[in-house]
Amino acid sequence: MSKEIEWIVQTGDARLDKLVAEELPELTRSAVQNLISQGLVFCNGEPVLKSARPVRGDRITVRIPEPKVLDVEAENIPLEIVYEDADLLVVNKPKGMVVHPAPGHNGGTLVNALLYHCGNSLSGINGVMRPGIVHRIDKDTSGLLIVAKNDFAHQKLALQIQEHTFTREYNAVVYGNIREEQGTVDAAIGRHPIERKKMAVMPPSTAGSRNAVTHFFVVRRFEGFTQLRLRLETGRTHQIRVHMAYLGHPVAGDPVYGPKKVITSLCGQCLHAGLIGFQHPRSDTYLEFSVPLPSYFTDFLSKLKEK
């Protein structure tokens, strides 16, 4: 059975999709836009376009349809579970594993493994192809991500990410010698204007670009490379990879944003999500988890000459 959420606009002059996404943080921006395109978002009882700008006093209604029956198959794929309770799991994803099914990756994903492990105990907010997925990391990025077992937990965790209170730290090896011991990249990210499968640093005024902030700290220096610890303030698609390339220090092994001569032995970017921290959605207790660097990462470091 579908459900309806309704409220009165308190301040005007915001695009409808932005307004709905802010009012319903449990929905991703793409999920909001999908609802609008299906004619399921109304202003004063009339379906409207995402570019509409409701004014103060307008009545917004969002009709969320009943979740479809999941047609993604459960697969008995081993998972490294760092933490689990009735509301959530923290999983250490290996390099090479896709998070959720997509064209070309119908099986062998983290979602397939989660369905086998959790059965029906996964949140449904992000749709039938992404049950439980609160945030994601790229296929060739290893490390920690959190999975919600119910919609209550998903909403609470998504709000922390939106409010930048969800801690995410990464380790990376980048090309070149970064001069500073630490620094911050504050540069908006949007879809590349020509290569549509890539993201790029864009002027903040560009349609579709979103603010992105990455803090970095030097861990070790090598000849031709620098090992970094990075903390995300925001979580845009390919954020670390784009920001490091923007600085002129792309992530080692990155086949998309790095140099044309790729370090093939790394089988993708040398990037590991080593730490996450958050308030538990039910108890509000702060939890923090970390995992050591994986073998592909330490093997690469062992081949470098320290400065």
Catalytic residue among 138, 151, 186, 299: 138
Adjacent-strand bridge partners of 4: 63
Alpha helix (H) residue ranges in 87-225: 110-118, 151-162
C-alpha–C-alpha distance, residues 47 and 28, integer Å = 20
CA 157 to chain centre: 12
CA 51 to chain centre: 25
What DSSP string runs through 206-268?
A: STT-B--EEEEEEEEEETTEEEEEEEESS--TTHHHHHHHHTT-PBTT-TTTS-SS--GGGSS
C-alpha–C-alpha distance, residues 20 and 24, integer Å = 6
Active site includes 284? no
Helix and strand counts by DSSP (H, E) for the chain: 6, 15
Query: Any idea which residue has 């000459």 for tokens?
Result: 305
Query: Any idea which residue has 């470098």 for tokens?
Result: 304
Fill in the amino acid letter for 238.
Answer: H
- State in Å, rounded, how far the first CA of the chain is from the last one: 63
Adjacent-strand bridge partners of 52: none
If you ran DSSP here, which 8-state letter would residue 112 be given?
Answer: H
Residues involved in catalysis: 138
